[in-house]
């Protein structure tokens, strides 16, 4: 995710900004930039690539007491010099850095262009610069307040003006922002590591808070200008744990970032109870597709399994989900109106890319779902839908998976709407339930201690099984993969009904069987499978919906999930499995973020 660093004070801003941005590198970025006050003007330098490229482009700079800098993780527009932040208004009077997503940027941009503003980038952020310009007469603070009242979405932003070099204006909603308090100098940053070593005194900004920062003061108000008294937070973290936001591992941090990742991926995509992907200009393909092939690897493949069931149920299109390394060598019976959907967090996975190329070679339309703007699959597919999970650093995928699920649901709702295959009221109902899934995931995260205790109990086991039916089976596969890849415990996922056709022979006394029970209609069937394994001495851990706990009483342990629509249940049921894998790995002393033999991006066949 992007990083912000701003400085105002009696020192030299540029080295402070570069140092701060380097401490935020762990957040992932593809370009970097800085705006600094020099001789009565704002000078902006920005570069695609690493911070080192920015430093080279900057060369030697004169001392200045005011600058804002940014590392960008592309969301709107490819990584490029132009799309890098800071963004300026038409006159070069102001400069803005921003993290988050301006959901209504397309409308705002259209209006601003009609009013005569010139845009230089493809970003959503640039509308902020022009909006502020529009409202700026003599008070930058007022102009920023007015501009922010026009935008929908999330922001952590900082703005400077050449006409008011004694202040930085910053504000936050749904993206992190902190203020560092120094002596005769102050800082604004998207995360604590950026200011560590300079000050330990910070304000953690809350949503809808607004700050006017000078060298000697930080005045915080709400969005309407009412003063807010904030407590200073004393940071005691060491630099390494600070990068992980106080979490012990990136994986745990990313598990906890899932509610925010869901919000960002949904942002602006559901309007008036309906999903809107019309801007893709792919409606005809969605409407006429005879068959959809979803192709991916590993965790992304598991997201595709959920996608298949959602698309078939809602949009009534035949769907096949396949592993990319198999699909690329299959002799697929292509029909001209088929659609291929490739899912890839990195957008660079060799097998997924090869499957995409194979489809294109046969003249088949390809839609990519990826987390990385400008990645190979994004460039080569006919259309792309981005997940907005932010950079995923741990090798084991968690927040990227959950956002892939979100996109699959959005797509299923959209295609169903286009094809009129699902009752209108139910469609809008499901869309509004989707909008609440971030809070449902937050609720499940509160169960972490219970999951940790389970891991403590079972940390010594050799082998585990994961069972489920329907959507629960798809999630069981993901749970088993997580456990084996980071804790090195043998884990197998089975469709619950398939067990007695062979694998039941492996069930022995004390073997943990994690069973997902979120599909109300299948609960009785699952219970009979549970009886089969219990009769062989297995210990059964049920991950079950609150309303089904009565039926699951025979299980040895229960982790409860909130009462959600069965179709959407994978979004909550995967969370305890991610936590279980995480705690098992920690307790067994494994290297959680960098499991043996594995790489984050698999660019070889």
- Residue numbers at the binding site for ligand F6R (CB under 6 A): 297-300, 344-346, 349, 352, 396-397, 481, 485, 601-602
* Contact predicate 578/448, CB 8 Å: no
Residues forming a β-bridge with 292: 319, 339
The catalytically annotated residue of 2, 297, 552, 555 is 2
Strand order in the sheet with 209-213: 87-88, 94-99, 155-161, 168-173, 209-213, 218-222
Q: Who's near 305: CB < 8 A, 6+ residues apart?
A: 321, 473, 474, 477
The C-alpha torsion from 364 through 371 and 49 to 591, rounded to 10°, is -130
Alpha-carbon distance of 422 to 312, in angstroms, equals 11
Taking alpha carbons only, the member of 569, 324, 353 closest to residue 440 is 569
Which C-beta is closer to ligand F6R: that of 208 or that of 601?
Answer: 601
* H or E element in which residue 324 lies: helix 324-327
User: Shortest gap between Cβ of 482 and ligand F6R (angstroms)?
Assistant: 6
User: Shortest gap between Cβ of 302 and ligand F6R (angstroms)?
Assistant: 8
H-only helix segments in 446-522: 448-458, 471-487
Which C-beta is closer to ligand F6R: that of 69 or that of 391?
Answer: 391
Residues forming a β-bridge with 160: 95
* 150 is an active site residue: no
The bridge status of strand 512-517 relative to strand 539-545 is: parallel
Which C-beta is closer to ligand F6R: that of 189 or that of 297?
Answer: 297
The catalytically annotated residue of 291, 525, 594, 600 is 600
Alpha-carbon distance of 25 to 553, in angstroms, equals 48
User: Shortest gap between Cβ of 546 and ligand F6R (angstroms)?
Assistant: 28
User: Shortest gap between Cβ of 391 and ligand F6R (angstroms)?
Assistant: 12
Residues forming a β-bridge with 233: 202
Which C-beta is closer to ligand F6R: that of 251 or that of 427?
Answer: 251
Which C-beta is closer to ligand F6R: that of 122 or that of 492?
Answer: 492
User: Shortest gap between Cβ of 598 and ligand F6R (angstroms)?
Assistant: 8
Alpha-carbon distance of 307 to 570, in angstroms, equals 11
552 vs 105, 267, 515, CA distance in Å?
Answer: 48, 36, 10
User: Shortest gap between Cβ of 298 and ligand F6R (angstroms)?
Assistant: 2
User: Shortest gap between Cβ of 590 and ligand F6R (angstroms)?
Assistant: 14
Output the residue with the shortest Cβ distance to ligand F6R. Answer: 298
The values of phi and psi at residue 189, to 5°, are -155, 160
User: Shortest gap between Cβ of 245 and ligand F6R (angstroms)?
Assistant: 20
Alpha-carbon distance of 323 to 500, in angstroms, equals 25
Q: Who's near 282: CB < 8 A, 6+ residues apart?
A: 365, 367, 382, 383
Which C-beta is closer to ligand F6R: that of 55 or that of 342?
Answer: 342
The bridge status of strand 274-275 relative to strand 292-296 is: unpaired
Which C-beta is closer to ligand F6R: that of 358 or that of 485?
Answer: 485
* H or E element in which residue 292 lies: strand 292-296
* 600 is an active site residue: yes
Which C-beta is closer to ligand F6R: that of 235 or that of 395?
Answer: 395
Report CA torsion sign: 491, 492, 495, 496. negative
Q: Which residues are catalytic?
A: 2, 600
């Amino acid at each position: 995710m992007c990083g912000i660093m701003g400085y105002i004070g009696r020192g030299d801003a540029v080295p402070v900004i570069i140092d701060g941005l380097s401490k935020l590198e762990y957040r992932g970025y593809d370009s970097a930039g800085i705006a600094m006050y020099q001789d009565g003007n704002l000078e902006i330098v920005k570069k695609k690539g690493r911070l080192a490229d920015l430093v080279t482009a900057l060369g030697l700079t004169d001392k200045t007491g005011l600058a804002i800098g940014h590392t960008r993780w592309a969301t709107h527009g490819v990584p490029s010099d132009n799309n890098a932040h800071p963004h300026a208004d038409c006159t070069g009077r102001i400069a803005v850095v921003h993290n988050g997503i301006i959901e209504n940027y397309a409308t705002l941009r259209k209006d601003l262009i009609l009013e005569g503003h010139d845009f230089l980038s493809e970003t959503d952020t640039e509308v902020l610069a022009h909006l502020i310009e529009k409202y700026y007469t003599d008070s930058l603070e007022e102009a920023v307040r007015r501009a922010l009242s026009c935008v929908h979405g999330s922001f952590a932003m900082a703005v400077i003006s050449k006409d008011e070099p004694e202040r930085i204006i910053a504000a936050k909603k749904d993206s992190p922002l902190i203020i560092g308090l120094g002596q005769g100098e102050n800082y604004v940053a998207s995360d604590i590591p950026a200011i560590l070593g300079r000050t330990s005194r910070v304000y953690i900004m809350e949503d809808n808070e607004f700050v006017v920062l000078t060298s000697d003061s930080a005045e915080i108000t709400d969005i309407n200008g009412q003063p807010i008294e904030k407590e200073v937070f004393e940071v005691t973290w060491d630099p390494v744990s600070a990068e992980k936001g106080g979490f012990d591992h990136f994986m745990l941090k990313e598990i906890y970032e899932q509610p925010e990742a869901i919000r960002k991926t949904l942002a602006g995509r559901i309007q008036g109870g309906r999903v809107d992907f019309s801007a893709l200009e792919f409606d005809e393909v969605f409407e006429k597709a005879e068959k959809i092939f979803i192709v991916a690897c590993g965790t992304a493949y598991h997201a595709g399994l959920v996608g298949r069931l959602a698309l078939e149920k809602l949009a009534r299109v035949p769907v096949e989900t396949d592993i990319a390394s198999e699909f690329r060598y299959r002799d697929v019976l292509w029909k001209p109106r088929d659609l291929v959907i490739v899912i890839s967090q990195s957008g660079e996975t060799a097998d997924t890319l090869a499957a995409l190329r194979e489809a294109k070679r046969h003249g088949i339309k390809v839609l990519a779902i990826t987390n990385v703007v400008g990645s190979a699959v994004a460039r080569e597919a006919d259309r792309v839908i981005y997940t907005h999970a932010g950079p995923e650093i741990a090798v084991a995928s968690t927040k990227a998976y959950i956002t892939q699920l979100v996109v699959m649901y959005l797509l299923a709702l959209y295609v169903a709407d286009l094809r009129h295959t699902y009752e209108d009221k139910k469609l809008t109902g499901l869309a509004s339930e989707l909008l609440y899934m971030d809070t449902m995931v937050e609720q499940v995260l509160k169960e972490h201690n219970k999951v940790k205790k389970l891991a403590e109990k079972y940390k010594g086991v050799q082998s585990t099984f994961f069972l489920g039916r329907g959507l629960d089976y798809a999630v069981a596969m993901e749970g088993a993969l997580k456990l084996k890849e980071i804790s090195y415990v043998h884990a197998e996922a089975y469709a619950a009904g398939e067990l007695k056709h062979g694998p039941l022979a492996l069930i022995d006394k004390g073997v943990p069987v994690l069973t997902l029970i979120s599909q109300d209609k299948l609960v009785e069937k699952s219970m009979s499978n549970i009886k089969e394994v219990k009769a062989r001495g297995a210990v059964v851990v049920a991950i079950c919906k609150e309303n089904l706990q009565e039926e699951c009483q025979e299980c040895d342990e229960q982790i409860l999930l909130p009462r959600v629509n069965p179709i959407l249940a994978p979004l909550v049921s995967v969370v305890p499995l991610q936590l279980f894998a995480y705690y098992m790995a920690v307790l067994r002393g494994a290297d959680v973020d960098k499991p043996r033999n594995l790489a984050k991006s698999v660019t070889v066949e």
